[in-house]
Amino acid sequence: MTNTTRILLLVAGGLVLWQVVRGARVYAFERQFYLPSNHRVPRPEDAVALGLRDITFPSHAGARLSGWYVPSKNRATIILTHGSGGDRTNCLADARILLGAGFGVLLFDWPGQGESEGQVTWGRSERAALTAAIDFVAAQPNVDPQRIGVDGFSAGGYFAAQVAAMDTRLRAVVLVATPTDIVEQTRTEYARSGHAAQIGALLALRLHVTHARAMRPLDVVRSIAPRPVLVVGGSHDRVVPPAMTRQLFDAAGEPKSLLIVDGADHGDYETKSEGEYGRRLVRFFDSALLDTPADTGKAPEPAARPATSNP
């Protein structure tokens, strides 16, 4: 074997090893989103000014969920849901916007995340949790059950679309940076990082999400109609790219509206839009939840429970 051959083999071996290490690192990074650990959730400095109340309520899957609740001033309340690997503090920016407009808010940690009990399943336990959150809000004395909305970010929007398709008590739905399909989202996110990184990410998904393509938002979002949907994304989002956001919007039924925030990545919509995101959010919920039946020419459809209390 010549020296040149040895050098070429060493270089080739080094490249293969580098790709294996790269794939393993991506696998480990993605795994933390599918198997997060519980942690203490800090109260924000303006918790008292906001009126945040510490609450717990039982999920239909049996776990006890932790959250914050602020009563409504206009009898309408919005449930805010965070993305994977996060907690309810990730929803505070939208909560401040909505509280300033008089809406009540409920922020809670998904099962197995933040301070909530339970397990992350990417489906069954999360749908059961959101259904229980609707039950909690609907039972509050200052809430009109016909005036409950949901504002879901990323994975939170993923589960919100699934539940809203079944539970018409959610009268208005905001889907922010929401994947249409978790498999395609993972493949797209790592497409620029090379095959090794993509394989590592898809392997983590395959091993830790049992039914990755069950109830894809792309398939169920149309069932939310005729309740209004606002779809939001960022023009520079590499996690859920704007093409995927537009695909979700196209799949939704009317009435629907779309906001692509110029310059925004996976979040930070209010800052990047110079306040337009907040104004659109408030206008959307104002129109959907506070207008009287005379504005549409017909009474709202009766609120209905999902076909099963443990979806």
pLDDT digits (tens, 9 = 90+) for 46-86: 999 999 999 999 998 789 999 999 999 999 999 999 998 89
**More reliable by pLDDT, 190 or 95:** 95
pLDDT band, residue 33 (cuts 50/70/90): confident
**More reliable by pLDDT, 300 or 109:** 109
- Write down the residue that tokens 């945040």 correspond to: 52
Please check whether residues 155 and 270 belong to one and the same domain: yes
C-alpha R_g of the chain: 21
Q: How far apart are CA 295 and CA 55, in angstroms?
A: 35
Give a yes or no: residue 280 inside a domain. yes
Please check whether residues 279 and 231 belong to one and the same domain: yes
In the chain, the percentage of residues whose pLDDT exceeds 70 is 86
252 neighbors 218 (Cβ within 8 angstroms): no
Ramachandran category for residue 75: left, alpha or beta (phi over 0 → left; psi -120 to 50 → alpha): left
Q: Which amino acid is at 2?
A: T
Total structural domains in the chain?
2
Q: Which amino acid is at 298?
A: K
Please check whether residues 62 and 188 belong to one and the same domain: no
Please check whether residues 69 and 177 belong to one and the same domain: yes
C-alpha closest to that of 68 among 39, 91, 36: 91
CATH number of the CATH domain containing 250: 3.40.50.1820
278 neighbors 78 (Cβ within 8 angstroms): no
Please check whether residues 260 and 286 belong to one and the same domain: yes
Please check whether residues 111 and 189 belong to one and the same domain: no
Strand boundaries in the chain, DSSP class E: 53-58, 64-70, 77-81, 104-108, 148-153, 172-176, 229-234, 256-261
Q: How far apart are CA 24 and CA 28, in angstroms?
A: 6
Give a yes or no: residue 2 inside a domain. no
The Cβ of residue 62 has, within 10 Å, a number of other Cβ atoms equal to 12
Instruction: Let me know the angle formed at the C-alpha of 66 by 82 and 111, rounded to the nearest 5 degrees.
Output: 60
253 neighbors 222 (Cβ within 8 angstroms): yes
Give a yes or no: residue 306 inside a domain. no
Give a yes or no: residue 222 inside a domain. yes
pLDDT band, residue 294 (cuts 50/70/90): very low
Give the dihedral of Cα atoms 116, 122, 127, 128; nearest 10 deg.
-50
| DSSP-assigned letter for residue 74 | S
Look at residue 248 in the predicted model and tell me its pLDDT.
98
Please check whether residues 91 and 188 belong to one and the same domain: no
Please check whether residues 25 and 55 belong to one and the same domain: no
Look at residue 3 in the predicted model and tell me its pLDDT.
65
pLDDT band, residue 6 (cuts 50/70/90): low
**What pLDDT, in 10s, does the model give residues 138-187?**
999 999 999 999 999 999 999 999 999 999 999 999 999 999 998 888 88
Give a yes or no: residue 202 inside a domain. yes
The residue range of the domain holding 151 is: 47-181+216-291
Of 210, 225, 256, the residue at which a domain comes to its end is 210
**More reliable by pLDDT, 289 or 26:** 289
